[in-house]
Structure formats: structure tokens, C-alpha cells
Amino acid sequence: MKPKSKVLIIAGSDSSGGAGIQADIKTVTALGSYAMTAITAITSQNTTGVKSIVSIDPKEILNQIVFTCKDIKPDAIKIGMLHSSKIIKSVMKGLNKVKISKIVLDPVMIAKGGARLIDNKAINILKSKLIQKVSLITPNIPEAEILTKTKIKNLDNMINAANILLRCGAQNVLVKGGHLNKKNVINVFLNRKELKIFKNKKISTKNTHGTGCTLSSAITAYFACGKTLKKSCELGTKYVNSAIGSNLKYGKGCGPINHLNSVIIKKKFR
Ligand code: PXL
């Protein structure tokens, strides 16, 4: 097949392959689109935790974005780990130059094992400036709590947080409820015209490393192909659910989900 669309991913590298830019490339590819990257940081990690993080020079991040897009224009952009305020400023400069309207922001803050992937100054710029430049922001519960300075314990709290983010200038918000201790996973999609609640059975497993990166990449891939954001969120959630359900059991800690669950290999390549 020929790729259905082109996606630029601006995110950090996860050496263990389950989250970060590795998850993003696998997801975009598994959903039939062409992946390009601008790497913001390199993490050394395995399923038991993060050993170290090195940021890429903001100038180099800008170069990756601008030079790549000048040649192959993406249909949409996904943004993941942004380690510092300098990096966010550089990414915003890049976005202004490349003028792509479909942008999905996953406000990555903390890795599964608890390692911080963003500093406080960066969180403030993300909330006050970057949020206004993107089509969709996809916080999980802890991220939504930090961004809105509220406590989130139930569906009403999630909707309230999504409304606060709209007031901060977000166009569309997807608050992901996987962290709530409930039988179902509830995701709340909200914009100024509609509210949609996606409900899925929670799959009990510790192997959920990279779910956030994977979901935002899947949404971006569908959005790049021309689906609405609401439909992209619905389909992205289905893809991640099936990837979690496959339960790979790789590594000694929180293992990766199965990005390949959507793929069938042709006979001649088996
Ligand atoms: O899942 C958040 C995330 C994003 N980006 C990178 C990561 C992680 C979590 O480990 O390593 C690079």
C-alpha cells in the first residue's frame, strides 16, 4: 500500500521502544501513514524506569521541523515530550514557520515510573501559549490536574477540567480517564460545540507503557487522513484498547502495548 497521509512527530526518544517517538512511528506506520520526526530529547530507559534524559539543542529541533517540512509537507503534526521552556519556544517558532493547521499536543509530564519529563517553566508556557496553537490537547488525569490546578476524581471533574482548558485557549480537549480507579475507562472529548464521552472496559494489566503517546499518534494519523477530531479520538481509542488487550509481557516492569495489533503481513513477506 501507499501511505494514506504524512505525519510529523515532534517528541522524545524512548530507548525501550514502548513510548515516545518509537511508539509514535510504529503507530503512524501501523495505521498506514508516513512518519517523519523531530527529536526533542533522548531518554535511556527500560520497562523498569528512566536512567537518564538528554535534551536536544533547541536550534537543532527547529532545524528538524523546518527543513523536513520544507521538503515533505505533513498533513498533521503530533507533539509529545517537550523538556524545557527553551524547547517549547523553539517548537512554536517551527510551527509558525511551517504553517500546518492540524496539530495534536500530548502534554507529556511524567513517565510511568515517576520520572519527570518536563520542568515547571515549560508547563507554564505550554498552558499559556502552546495550547492556543494546537487543534487538540490530550492530557491524562495527572496532567489535567496540573494544568487546571483542580483535583479530578470523577466524570464531572473531568468535564470541568476540559472546560478550564477551553478557557485557556484550547480548541478541542480529550481528557483521558485511564488513571481513575474505575471499571471502565472514560475519555472526555470537548470543544465549544460538543461533548462526547467514550467509554471502554478497563483491561487489567501492568503492561501499559506508552499508551498516551500511542493514542495521540493514532489520533493524529486519523486526523491527517481527513477524519474529524471526534472520530479520530474514537478510532484512536479503539486502536490503543486493542494494543493493550494484546498484552505482550515484555520486560520486568511496565511493558509496552502491542503497536502491531492492527497489522496483517502479506504472504510474500511472512
Ligand atoms: O509516555 C510518556 C513519554 C513520552 N515520551 C518519552 C517517554 C515517555 C514515557 O516514558 O519516555 C520519550
Ligand 1 pocket member 256 (CB < 6 A): no
54 has which bridge partners? Answer: 42
Return the closest-CA partner of residue 103 out of 79, 126, 127, 68.
79
In this structure, the residue with its CA closest to atom 7 of ligand 1 is 20
Q: How many residues does the chain have?
A: 270
pLDDT at 113: 79
Starting at the earlier edge strand, list the strands of the sheet with 49-55.
49-55, 34-46, 6-14, 76-79, 103-105, 136-137, 172-176, 184-191, 195-201
Ligand 1 pocket member 18 (CB < 6 A): no
Distance 81 CA to ligand 1 centre (A): 7
Domains of the chain, CATH where assigned: 6-262 (3.40.1190.20)
**Which residues make Cβ contacts (< 8 Å) with residue 265, sequence separation at least 6?**
none
Torsion angle (degrees, nearest 10) of CA 150, 155, 161, 164: -130
Ligand 1 pocket member 139 (CB < 6 A): no
Distance 60 CA to ligand 1 centre (A): 20
* Residues carrying an active site annotation: 176, 208, 210-213
Ligand 1 pocket member 22 (CB < 6 A): no
Ligand 1 atom closest to Cα of 12?
12
pLDDT at 111: 84
Give, for 46, the enclosing helix (H) or strand (E).
strand 34-46
**Residue 159 carries which side chain, given as an amino acid letter?**
I
- Residue 196, phi then psi, degrees to nearest 5: -135, 135
**pLDDT tens digits in sequence order for the chain, 270 residues long:** 999 999 999 999 999 999 999 999 999 999 999 999 999 999 999 999 999 999 999 999 999 999 999 999 999 999 999 989 999 999 999 999 999 999 999 999 998 778 889 999 999 999 999 999 999 999 999 999 999 999 999 999 999 999 999 999 999 999 999 999 889 999 999 999 999 999 999 999 999 999 999 999 999 999 999 999 999 999 999 999 999 999 999 999 999 999 999 999 999 999
180, 154 Cβ separation under 8 angstroms: yes
Ligand 1 atom closest to Cα of 213?
1
Q: Using CA atoms, how far apart are residues 137 and 140, in angstroms rounded to an integer?
A: 10
219, 265 Cβ separation under 8 angstroms: no
Ligand 1 pocket member 111 (CB < 6 A): yes
Return the closest-CA partner of residue 133 out of 77, 81, 176.
77
